[in-house]
Amino acid sequence: MADWSPPRTWVTGELVTADILNTHIRDNLDFLKDPPTALATLDEIANYTTTSTTFVDVDNTEGKFKHTKQVFGGDVLAIFVGNVKIGNSNQYIHFNISVDGVDHFADDGLLAVHPGSVTSGENIRWPVCIVARLTGVAAGTRIFRLRWKVSANTATLYAGAGTSNVDIHPQFWIMEVGNSA
What does the pLDDT read at residue 38?
78
One domain for residues 27 and 41:
no
One domain for residues 56 and 115:
yes
One domain for residues 162 and 111:
yes
CA angle 15, 7, 25 (to 5 degrees): 70
One domain for residues 93 and 9:
no
In angstroms, rounded to a whole number, what is the distance separating the alpha carbons of residues 158 and 84?
Answer: 6
One domain for residues 18 and 50:
no
In angstroms, rounded to a whole number, what is the distance separating the alpha carbons of residues 9 and 14?
Answer: 11
What CATH number has the domain bearing residue 152? 2.60.120.760
What does the pLDDT read at residue 27?
72
What does the pLDDT read at residue 57?
97
What does the pLDDT read at residue 24?
76
One domain for residues 121 and 51:
yes
CA angle 146, 45, 65 (to 5 degrees): 15
What does the pLDDT read at residue 97?
96
What does the pLDDT read at residue 145?
97
One domain for residues 95 and 172:
yes
Domain count, the chain: 2
One domain for residues 106 and 163:
yes
One domain for residues 29 and 55:
no
φ, ψ of residue 26 in degrees (nearest 5)? -60, -55
How many CA atoms within 13 Å lie on the side-chain side of 33? Answer: 8
One domain for residues 104 and 167:
yes
What does the pLDDT read at residue 17?
86
What does the pLDDT read at residue 16?
85
One domain for residues 16 and 41:
no
What does the pLDDT read at residue 58?
96
φ, ψ of residue 154 in degrees (nearest 5)? -125, 140
What does the pLDDT read at residue 133?
93
Regions in the chain scoring below 50 on pLDDT: none
CA-nearest of 129, 134, 157 to 56 is: 157
One domain for residues 58 and 21:
no
Range of the domain at 103: 37-178
